[in-house]
Structure 1
């Protein structure tokens, strides 16, 4: 009877494969052996079934995320618990370090534009194929060997795009700097979320020889549009929340022209952040320090104050204090850019004043002396009271120059060449001349004292009254 009981129990037990869970079927459709092992485990321990379902859903999401970045894959299926979304959307930068979300994302979005052999500098230093997809598009970079998409960002999550001339190059080139949300070096993404990486790629000045439309038609064959202009136009057609920003003569122009192209204006200022050398660009929407990773972009709304420090005869430092857009307390960050050429001081100072950025050069924490130009804390308007215009006009750089001149004047006054300057000689004198000059000085002082005294009256007393004045 015992044997019969055991045998009956074995017959009544459900077969492992009789279980059918949609999430597991979808996740392991391409791995039948793995799916069977999962069902076997659920049969042995039914209480773990919810755990395996969660693992299956997570696996499905990872698969779709990967396929969203790569070429269309025929076996990718849409989730069975709802219709496929028609639009690509980003959930707060969710993705494996690239800012792309794949929840309900179709992987077969057609290309609108692509350009081969584009040199990237950030986040990877390599040549990729630059691609833009249609609809609410994706800007991405594809590996030209493996055909895998390395990184990208949805266009509607791009906060700033800058098109800047590459400094100190013999041939004219342009850097496109793409700064997604929470990737400016100032604003961090919310907890638990990831941000897309900034991108920088370089375009040579000339026709777009490797640019194609989504259907493979080569673009720019007419020769009336440069590669830089073509990319800028296509980006502007897709961007809704921003536009491509370029340098403007009305904002800032360096006092020094391009070193290799003397006839062209330079829009950059060379500076150091610590030991890292880079370039500052003063633009209509903020200040960029690039082009090495990580980029730092100071939007006007994030700049707390700007000050000049370590002002020397030929260089000075620029200190930028920034505050995140969503600030919960004293979470300011200070960035120091050093070794800026003094020749660019006037242009930078004009830029700061034009945009109403606070000049904190005269703050007590940054100076050892006061020159009575600090306005009361909380005053509106330019730094310092406008009523004291003359005092405010003396900048930190001008103050340092004046102090240097004053010191030189003091040194000249303290210097004694050995003559009182009244001699008509060659400017040198012997010890005898010095003694004679010294005696002469004493005689002059005695003469001045004697002029104040009536010596005749002192000697003769009342008898002096009987002597005629013409005989004295």
Structure 2
């Protein structure tokens, strides 16, 4: 199938040796594509051969890639989806490296959608979404432990998948265009589902997130990726604002790439006008302090004036004394 090249080890040993000896990469890829075609389009017997030595969950409800009952085979090298003994999807554990168990709102009994996908979000068509309720695992797999089907499936996938989320941080009902769905916020992802195509937005690819079209009851969220691609989600209840804003704040603080980008923007912006003015003022020469000289001059003038007045008073006193003697 597209996006999957089965391991050459699936071929008989003689063919494996011949394929390994091929040096031309185009020819080697052609061989792998042919194997992939027969691996997914072969008759019923081949589907059963593929799931030998696999842990198989039978009759699980599936909504992506098709709304059918499906068998899920978990092998050491890959995941296989079978519908009526025909392989309809499969991929290795590099392709399926993200699993998220997300609650489905407004159901009469607890229900979850288990998303099995590629963490880059670049191949949404390959995503698998299974719907599970809170029932015992032994209805779907032989020799099951006494746990729910949800817990059993997650435990089976955990050894092979890079990231497994048992539940989201929060989830809200939103619209994207005319599509109504659930927007789930995980620790490092935002997922919108559950109709085709499933939208997976890794935090590492998010450039910024903003709130728009705020009304009395609802608001919108616009997520802009580093590629410039935009995703707008609308009709979000105000009741969800604080939780979403807390998620955004926490993730931005923890995501180093976003923090570095903000610091780089701040450095490129340069100092503020106030900072520039303070810097300019600090470089001016210090003004000379003339207060002491002014005080000294004022003191000398005062002394000279007072001295003149004293001499004049003594002369007047002498004249008066002479007149009295005469």
Instruction: Classify the TM-score, shorter chain.
Output: 0.5 to 0.7
1:243 to 163, 184, 190: 163
Counterpart of 2:62 in 1: which secondary structure?
Answer: strand
The aligned residue for residue 198 of structure 2 is 295
**Alignment length, in residue pairs?**
240
The aligned residue for residue 340 of structure 1 is 236
1:218 to 137, 143, 151: 143
The aligned residue for residue 318 of structure 1 is 221
Between the aligned partners of 2:82 and 2:153, the Cα distance in structure 1 is: 17
Change (3 A) 1:196 1:317: closer
Cα deviations by residue, 1:438-470 (Å, 9 ceiling, x for unpaired): xxxxxxxxxxxxxxxxxxxxxxxxxxxxxxxxx
The aligned residue for residue 45 of structure 2 is none
The aligned residue for residue 129 of structure 1 is 71
Between the aligned partners of 2:265 and 2:243, the Cα distance in structure 1 is: 27
Q: Contact between 2:174 and 2:181, CA under 8 Å: does it hold in 1?
A: yes
* More relative contact order, 1 or 2 (CA 8 Å, 6+ apart): 2
Greater strand percent: which structure? 2
The aligned residue for residue 252 of structure 2 is 356
How many Å apart are 1:243 and its aligned residue?
A: 2.5
How many Å apart are 1:181 and its aligned residue?
A: 5.5
How many Å apart are 1:79 and its aligned residue?
A: 5.0
How high is the TM-score relative to the length of structure 2?
Answer: 0.64
Counterpart of 2:106 in 1: which secondary structure?
Answer: coil
Change (3 A) 1:288 1:67: closer
The aligned residue for residue 83 of structure 2 is 143
The aligned residue for residue 154 of structure 1 is 92
Cα deviations by residue, 1:20-44 (Å, 9 ceiling, x for unpaired): xxxxxxxxxxxxxxxxxxxxxxxxx
Matched, 1:198 2:140: no
How many Å apart are 1:209 and its aligned residue?
A: 2.9
Change (3 A) 1:196 1:167: same
Cα deviations by residue, 1:153-212 (Å, 9 ceiling, x for unpaired): 112322321111112111111111011265x1xx47xxxxxx870110111112113333
Between the aligned partners of 2:195 and 2:33, the Cα distance in structure 1 is: 24
Cα deviations by residue, 1:69-126 (Å, 9 ceiling, x for unpaired): xxx99x9973562579xxxxxx8xx759x99999xxxx75733311111111111111
Q: Contact between 2:57 and 2:73, CA under 8 Å: does it hold in 1?
A: yes
Counterpart of 1:170 in 2: which secondary structure?
Answer: coil
Between the aligned partners of 2:235 and 2:68, the Cα distance in structure 1 is: 30
How high is the TM-score relative to the length of structure 1?
Answer: 0.45
Q: Contact between 2:119 and 2:200, CA under 8 Å: does it hold in 1?
A: no
1:208 to 108, 117, 137: 137
Between the aligned partners of 1:335 and 1:100, the Cα distance in structure 2 is: 38
Counterpart of 1:238 in 2: which secondary structure?
Answer: coil
Change (3 A) 1:206 1:120: same
Change (3 A) 1:67 1:143: farther
Counterpart of 1:348 in 2: which secondary structure?
Answer: helix
The aligned residue for residue 323 of structure 2 is none
Cα deviations by residue, 1:198-255 (Å, 9 ceiling, x for unpaired): 110111112113333xxxx4313xx3x111111111111223xx1311335xx4xxxx
Matched, 1:278 2:207: no
Greater helix percent: which structure? 2
Between the aligned partners of 1:377 and 1:314, the Cα distance in structure 2 is: 37
Cα deviations by residue, 1:255-276 (Å, 9 ceiling, x for unpaired): xxxxxxxxxxxx4211111001
The aligned residue for residue 26 of structure 2 is none
Q: Contact between 2:100 and 2:115, CA under 8 Å: does it hold in 1?
A: yes
The aligned residue for residue 15 of structure 2 is 78
How many Å apart are 1:348 and its aligned residue?
A: 0.7
How many Å apart are 1:66 and its aligned residue?
A: 9.4
The aligned residue for residue 212 of structure 2 is 309
Q: Contact between 2:97 and 2:163, CA under 8 Å: does it hold in 1?
A: no
Q: Contact between 1:210 and 1:218, CA under 8 Å: does it hold in 2?
A: no
Counterpart of 1:127 in 2: which secondary structure?
Answer: strand
Q: Contact between 1:161 and 1:177, CA under 8 Å: does it hold in 2?
A: yes
How many Å apart are 1:340 and its aligned residue?
A: 0.4
Matched, 1:176 2:98: no
Between the aligned partners of 1:100 and 1:168, the Cα distance in structure 2 is: 42
Change (3 A) 1:99 1:234: farther
Counterpart of 1:284 in 2: which secondary structure?
Answer: coil
Between the aligned partners of 2:70 and 2:7, the Cα distance in structure 1 is: 18
